[in-house]
């Protein structure tokens, strides 16, 4: 949350323009490696944004290139590329009342042309046994522009036991020049930093391999950083319009797999006629499932794997004294200064002679089970979540005055009164 709060705009619940904003923005400020900037690409360490949950792609739109809009005689570029994933939370697969359908939305992703094309090669017919060499981060051979160097410093990386045969394909992200020593003679050779291809699927491991034209031949290009779902969408050749996916194997995605990279957006600057630029993505999780309010109350009583200990502000703390024979807890004059919600395992729970559970809440302060509550993974109401319901007027300019807004702020205010660590900076406010 500290990273998200550092963003200039695009925060949840109200945006910087005073209108409702049901999402968060992540930009190159908080997550620079997920922006396809020249610096990120030259460093060779781009990290795509990842899908948050398993599901199927319900809808998407891809831009081939950035769209443009006029502004004071200039053209401002922006991306309307998005992907919407439909998911199903199933706390108990056997009890349908415990399920919840929801969607995750990834907006303003980089368009197709932002993804760099990398050269593909294949081993020429009649050649085999070409050994792959190890890759070490930062060791990329002779610096660009330098024609020669110390053969020991820029010695070719060690060979692995893996080799290539005729017809094997790979994609090269960059080249590097290393010295190969044979028979006491050092020769400067060009190698590619490569990933092996199985069909069009690229492996994770990187190697160096010779690009000697007598051994290798060019075999097209691949936009290796482009996520699989976008590759499929690109093959369909329809740009700048919303397309539906479907609950088929083709459109399935898995949590943790690439969703894409941040798009770049131009916007009017503070000074007249000035244009500023930002890489960012808009992330939103939403549900139209009518079971949402009931789901928060865990109607089927599903336990889940995780449990949370809830300790309210003001409880009298105890000290613990342990001997080989027994556990002794002694009351103190100190009280808990703020409400706490801790993973159960973090409280090192133990029992005393009467089999009552005790929980370590502050490090030196303990509470008995009668002074705390426990919540399961799906006891979301107990964990502080609440439904905010509103029949929208349809007028976005009226969103700060709709009924759910004071409800939300009232919840934040009550949490601040409890001294919750996440809300200790919340100032007093009034909603009218």
Residue pLDDT, tens place only, 150-187: 999 999 999 999 999 999 999 998 899 999 999 889 99
Q: Is residue 301 part of a domain?
A: no
Measured distance CA(430)–CA(348) in Å, rounded = 41
Q: Is residue 44 part of a domain?
A: yes
User: Domain check: are 101 and 236 in the same one?
Assistant: yes
User: For 88-115, what is each residue's pLDDT tens digit?
Assistant: 999 999 999 999 999 999 999 999 999 9
Region 67-77: mean pLDDT is 91
pLDDT at 111: 97
pLDDT at 429: 40
Domain end marker among 164, 190, 222 = 222
Place of tokens 């500023």: 276
Region 282-307: mean pLDDT is 93
Altogether, the residues listed in the chain come to a count of: 432
C-alpha torsion 286→288→292→293, nearest 10: 110
48 touches 429 (CB < 8 A): no
Q: Is residue 155 part of a domain?
A: yes
Domain end marker among 185, 201, 222 = 222
Q: Is residue 22 part of a domain?
A: yes
Q: Is the model's pLDDT at 31 over the cut of 70?
A: yes
User: Domain check: are 165 and 130 in the same one?
Assistant: yes
- Residue range of the domain that includes 412: 388-432
Q: How many domains does the chain have?
A: 4
User: For 230-280, what is each residue's pLDDT tens digit?
Assistant: 999 999 999 999 999 988 999 999 999 999 999 999 988 877 778 889 999
User: Domain check: are 362 and 417 in the same one?
Assistant: no
> Which two tokens mark 280?
């960012």
> Which two tokens mark 277?
């630029």
User: Domain check: are 92 and 130 in the same one?
Assistant: no
Region 336-342: mean pLDDT is 92
Q: Is residue 138 part of a domain?
A: yes
* pTM: predicted TM-score of the whole model, two decimal places: 0.77
User: Domain check: are 392 and 356 in the same one?
Assistant: no
User: Domain check: are 352 and 430 in the same one?
Assistant: no
Q: Is the model's pLDDT at 432 over the cut of 70?
A: no
Place of tokens 């613990």: 320
Chain centroid, CA 78 distance in Å: 22
- Nearest C-alpha neighbor of 396 from the set 20, 13, 12: 20
- Nearest C-alpha neighbor of 384 from the set 356, 401, 408, 352: 408
Element (H, E) at 48: none
Q: Is the model's pLDDT at 412 over the cut of 80?
A: no
pLDDT range class, residue 201, cuts 50, 70, 90: confident
DSSP string, 274-286: -EEEEEEEEEEEE
pLDDT at 396: 67
pLDDT range class, residue 423, cuts 50, 70, 90: very low
- Strands annotated E in 344-409: 350-351, 357-360, 366-368, 373-376
User: Domain check: are 183 and 142 in the same one?
Assistant: yes
User: Domain check: are 47 and 181 in the same one?
Assistant: no
User: In degrees, to the nearest 5, what angle opens at C-alpha 93 toward C-alphas 90 and 94?
Assistant: 140
Q: Is residue 298 part of a domain?
A: no
- Nearest C-alpha neighbor of 121 from the set 56, 63, 195: 195
- Nearest C-alpha neighbor of 62 from the set 221, 254, 280, 227: 227
User: Domain check: are 134 and 102 in the same one?
Assistant: no
Q: Is the model's pLDDT at 430 over the cut of 50?
A: no
C-alpha torsion 199→201→203→206, nearest 10: 90
**CATH code, 18:** 2.70.70
278 touches 264 (CB < 8 A): yes
Mean pLDDT of the chain: 89
Element (H, E) at 250: none
pLDDT at 326: 86
pLDDT at 202: 82
User: Domain check: are 64 and 45 in the same one?
Assistant: yes
| Start-end of H helices in 14-169 | 38-43
pLDDT range class, residue 400, cuts 50, 70, 90: low
Q: Is residue 383 part of a domain?
A: no
Domain end marker among 293, 315, 330 = 293
DSSP string, 84-100: EEEEEE-SSTT-GGG-E
Q: Is residue 60 part of a domain?
A: yes
User: For the range 228-235, what are the long-range contacts, defined as Cβ-Cβ under 8 Å and sequence gap of 24 or more?
Assistant: 228/257, 228/258, 229/57, 229/60, 229/83, 229/253, 229/259, 230/62, 230/83, 230/112, 230/260, 231/200, 233/60, 233/62, 234/62, 234/112
313 touches 337 (CB < 8 A): yes
pLDDT range class, residue 44, cuts 50, 70, 90: low
pLDDT range class, residue 427, cuts 50, 70, 90: very low
Chain centroid, CA 98 distance in Å: 26
User: Domain check: are 190 and 267 in the same one?
Assistant: no
User: Domain check: are 217 and 242 in the same one?
Assistant: no
């Amino acid at each position: 949350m500290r990273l998200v709060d550092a963003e200039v705009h695009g925060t949840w619940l109200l945006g910087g323009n005073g209108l409702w904003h049901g999402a968060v923005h992540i930009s190159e400020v908080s997550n620079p490696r997920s922006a396809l900037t020249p610096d990120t690409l030259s460093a060779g360490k781009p990290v795509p944004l990842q899908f948050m949950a398993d599901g199927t792609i319900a809808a998407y739109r891809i831009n081939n290139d950035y769209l443009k809009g006029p502004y004071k005689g200039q053209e401002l570029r922006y991306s309307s590329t998005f992907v919407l994933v439909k998911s199903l939370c199933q706390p108990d697969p056997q009890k349908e009342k415990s399920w919840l359908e929801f969607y995750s939305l990834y907006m303003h992703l980089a368009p197709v042309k932002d993804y760099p094309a990398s050269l593909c090669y294949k081993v020429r017919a009649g050649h085999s046994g070409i050994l792959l060499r190890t890759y070490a981060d930062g060791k990329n051979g002779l610096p660009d522009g330098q024609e020669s160097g110390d053969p020991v410093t820029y010695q070719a990386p060690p060979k692995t036991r893996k080799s290539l045969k005729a017809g094997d394909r790979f994609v090269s992200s960059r080249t590097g020049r290393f010295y190969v020593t044979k028979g006491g003679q050092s020769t400067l050779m060009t190698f590619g930093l490569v990933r092996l291809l199985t069909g069009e699927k690229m492996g994770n491991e990187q190697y160096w391999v010779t690009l000697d034209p007598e051994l290798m031949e060019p075999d097209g290009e691949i936009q290796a950083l482009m996520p699989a779902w976008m590759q499929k969408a690109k093959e369909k050749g329809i740009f700048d319009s919303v397309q539906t996916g479907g609950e088929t194997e083709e459109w399935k995605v898995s949590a943790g797999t690439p969703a894409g990279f941040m798009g770049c957006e131009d916007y009017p600057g503070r000074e007249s006629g000035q244009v500023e630029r930002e890489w960012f993505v808009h992330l939103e999780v939403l549900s139209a499932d009518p079971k949402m309010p009931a789901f928060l109350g865990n109607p089927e009583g599903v336990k889940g794997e995780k449990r949370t200990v809830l300790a309210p502000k003001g409880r009298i703390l105890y000290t613990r004294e342990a001997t080989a024979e027994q556990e002794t807890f002694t009351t103190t004059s100190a009280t808990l200064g703020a409400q706490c919600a801790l993973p159960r395992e973090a409280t090192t729970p133990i029992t005393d002679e009467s089999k009552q559970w005790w929980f370590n809440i502050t490090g030196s302060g303990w509470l008995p089970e009668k002074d705390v509550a426990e919540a399961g993974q799906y006891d979301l109401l107990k964990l502080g979540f609440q439904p905010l319901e509103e029949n929208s007027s349809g007028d976005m300019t009226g969103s700060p005055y709709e009924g759910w807004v004071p409800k939300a702020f009232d919840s934040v205010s009550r949490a601040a009164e409890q001294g919750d660590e996440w809300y200790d900076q919340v100032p007093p406010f009034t909603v009218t």
